[in-house]
């Protein structure tokens, strides 16, 4: 009986010592945070270009900044939702790629209980790119204007085969500033108040 307890104790010690050590934190590139680190209760007022008097108020919620998979990658993740009554939920999700790889940024749209993955863009040192052989294209614009509103440091993504979007625009210190849907509707940012 004593031998059985001793063996069980030794097995517990062995199992504890075999538990993998957490990997070093892989943090998001500072420029990814410049573009996308937007806290809860930020407000985005969008309009559709054909009806600029109609305003749609999105408020950010469910902000998360955490590390995932501590024993494998320990990568940093930022995620938050943009919520507007009567419109699909938009989720911005950024995941670090570590020191050797680029950060991954995705726009997820929840519509009718389905999640549509928007264009995915990669970033390292404010140099944005798209996936290899995706057919998507990305353009970095020092200045971009829509409906007499000017935005600096804009990233424009044109997905080739996205189910919902034909263009997405992000700006530094703001995040999402415009989106063109395949149905021809073009939503642009009229006003905003960002919590950082």
Segments forming the whole domain that contains residue 130: 23-193
In angstroms, the CA 189 to CA 149 distance is 8
Mean pLDDT for 8-37 is: 68
- Per-residue model confidence (pLDDT) at position 134: 84
- Tokens (6 digits) for 60: 């950010």
Question: Is the pLDDT at 125 greater than 60, yes or no?
Answer: yes
Residue 16 in domain: no
d(CA 84, CA 57): 6
Q: Is there a domain that residue 180 lies in?
A: yes
Alpha helix positions (H), 2-139: 2-18, 30-36
| Angle at the Cα of 108 from the Cα atoms of 184 and 162, rounded to 5 degrees | 45
pLDDT at 68: 77
Whether 92 contacts 194, CB under 8 Å: no
pLDDT at 110: 97
The pLDDT score that the predictor gives to residue 22 is 54
Domain count, the chain: 1
User: Percentage of residues in the chain with pLDDT exceeding 70?
Assistant: 84
In a domain, 92, yes or no: yes
- 156, 138 contact by CB (below 8 A): yes
Output the pLDDT for position 8.
47
- 11-15, 92-96, 132-136 — which one is most confidently predicted on average? 92-96
Per-residue CA distances from 175 to 29, 156, 186 (Å): 15, 12, 17
Q: How confident is the model at residue 45 (pLDDT cuts 50, 70, 90)?
A: very high
What pLDDT is recorded for position 3?
53
Residue 36 forms part of a structural domain: yes
């Amino acid at each position: 009986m004593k031998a059985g307890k001793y063996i069980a104790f030794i097995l517990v010690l062995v199992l504890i010592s075999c538990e993998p050590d957490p990997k070093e934190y892989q943090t998001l590139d500072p420029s990814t945070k410049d573009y996308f680190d937007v806290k809860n209760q930020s407000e985005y007022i969008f309009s559709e270009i054909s009806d600029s008097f109609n305003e749609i108020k999105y408020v950010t919620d469910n902000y998360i900044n955490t590390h995932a998979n501590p024993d494998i990658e320990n990568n940093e993740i930022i995620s938050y939702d943009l919520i507007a009554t009567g419109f699909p939920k938009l989720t911005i999700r950024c995941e670090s790629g570590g020191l050797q790889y680029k950060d991954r940024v995705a726009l997820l749209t929840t519509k009718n209980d389905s999640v549509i993955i928007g264009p995915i863009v990669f970033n390292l040192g404010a140099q944005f790119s798209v996936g290899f052989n995706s057919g998507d294209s990305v353009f970095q614009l020092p200045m971009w204007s829509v409906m007499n509103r000017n935005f600096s440091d804009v990233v424009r993504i044109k997905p080739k085969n996205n189910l919902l979007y034909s263009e997405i625009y992000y700006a530094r210190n703001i995040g999402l500033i415009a989106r063109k849907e395949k149905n021809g509707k073009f939503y642009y940012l009229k006003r905003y108040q960002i919590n950082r």
